[in-house]
Amino acid sequence: MNPEKAARLELFASIEGGSTFWTSEIASQGVIHTLNSIKDGFYRSSKGEKTLSQMHPGGADQLLAIIDKAGGTFLSPEDLEWPTQLNDLAAMPIGLIVKGRVECLSQRSIAIVGTRNPTPYGARIASDFAAGFVDREWLIVSGGAYGIDTHAHKGALIAEGVTIAVIASGIDINYPAGNERLFTEIAELGAIVSEVMPGTPAFPSRFLTRNRIIAALSKSTLVVEAAFRSGSLRTARDAAELLRLVMAIPGPINSPTSEGTHRLIGERAAEIVTSVADAIELISSLEDSFR
């Protein structure tokens, strides 16, 4: 491993994802200079002290061994396989750990997200839309959680497609545990992506920070069902900030699980779609407007 990637791995393992401060420091100072400055105590703020305290004593070699043991690959922006669409993020990842096919991260994909407690209608729509996009040679990105995420991943796999799960824990932690078999199937043809080291548990804040990666990897985000206050709406906002198209599926007007999607549509923060053909046409028209 070259010195720059080794330095990036040390920073990756000690800095919580989604930090605009450290993203800025790395961009302006470089990874090696930033790492040395942390170790030399240059950053006397709580950020610097916390990061220094979380440095792995074994350095990059031992960190790489931990990743290898978990069956992962450490991917950094210096690598040719790095998905360059992530560079649009204000707090782009320092690196990623990928279990599965690294190359699929750069392929054309759409995010399908929504509530963890879907109605049968929402579950069916998520699965059907995922399969419809797979039939048109799109990859499906979601978060591996119960509910809409699970049905989107399964819909893609049933259609013999490729799907990517961006998770909030280490790649060796099956969270939620009930999706262990699903994660195995995803990694065989697609990829499981994490912004934390193996063995790291999923904290509530990590679900929010990983949402930006889901949004950035994808050309567009489709919200199937979401309550009025939902993490899926955060993914939609992240996508909108990146000038990615946000789409939403309408539901029954009296359904609590569709309040969030109706809010997006009502505020014109999302385009209403009722078919995969509608969605493809919207995405194509947006791409044409940028040419």
The stretch 92-97 carries a mean pLDDT of: 97
- Bridge partners for 142 per DSSP: 165
pLDDT tens per residue across span 178-226: 999 999 999 999 999 999 999 999 988 899 899 999 999 999 999 999 9
Question: Which of 69, 95, 121 represents a domain boundary (last residue)?
Answer: 69
Expressed in angstroms, the distance from the first to the final Cα of the chain is: 39
With a pLDDT cut of 90, the percent of the chain lying above it is 86
Token pair in block for residue 213: 């990666």
Condensed to tens digits (0 to 9), the pLDDT of residues 66-91 reads 999 999 999 999 999 999 999 999 99
User: Angle 20-29/46-53 helices, nearest 10 degrees?
Assistant: 80
At 286 the pLDDT is 75
pLDDT (0 to 100) of residue 288: 60
Backbone angles phi, psi at 176, to 5 degrees: -75, 150
CATH number at residue 210: 3.40.50.450
Helix axes 3-14, 46-53, angle to 10 degrees: 110
Decide if pLDDT at 289 tops 60: no
| Pair 144, 187 in one domain | yes
**Same structural domain for residues 152 and 238?**
yes
Residue 97 domain flag: no
pLDDT digits (tens, 9 = 90+) for 105-125: 999 999 999 999 999 999 999
Residue 5 is predicted with a pLDDT of 96
Query: Domain of 166?
Result: 103-289
Please indicate, yes or no, whether residues 57 and 122 belong to a single structural domain of this protein: no
Residues 143 and 272 in one domain: yes
160 and 277 housed in the same domain: yes
pLDDT class of 229 with cuts at 50, 70, 90: confident
Residues 148 and 264 in one domain: yes
Q: Does the pLDDT at position 45 exceed 80?
A: no
Q: Are residues 186 and 277 in the same domain?
A: yes
Domain endpoint, select from 19, 51, 69: 69
Average pLDDT over residues 222-239: 90
| Mean pLDDT of all residues belonging to the chain | 93
* Cα–Cα distances in angstroms (integers) from residue 163 to residues 133, 170, 223, 265, in the given order: 11, 18, 17, 26
pLDDT in tens, 13-31: 999 999 999 999 999 999 9
Residue 264 sits in the same domain as residue 220: yes
The reply to whether 265 and 122 lie within a common domain is yes
112 plus 163 within the same structural domain:
yes
* pLDDT tens by residue, 144-188: 999 999 999 999 999 999 999 999 999 999 999 999 999 999 999
Measured from the Cβ of residue 143, the count of other Cβ atoms closer than 10 Å reads: 28
pLDDT above 70 (res 95): yes
CA angle in degrees (0–180, nearest 5) for 213-219-223: 75
Q: Is residue 207 part of a domain?
A: yes
pLDDT of residue 156: 98
pTM: 0.94
Residue 15 lies in a domain: yes
What total of structural domains would you count in the chain? 2
Per the structure block, which two tokens stand in for 183? 């994660």
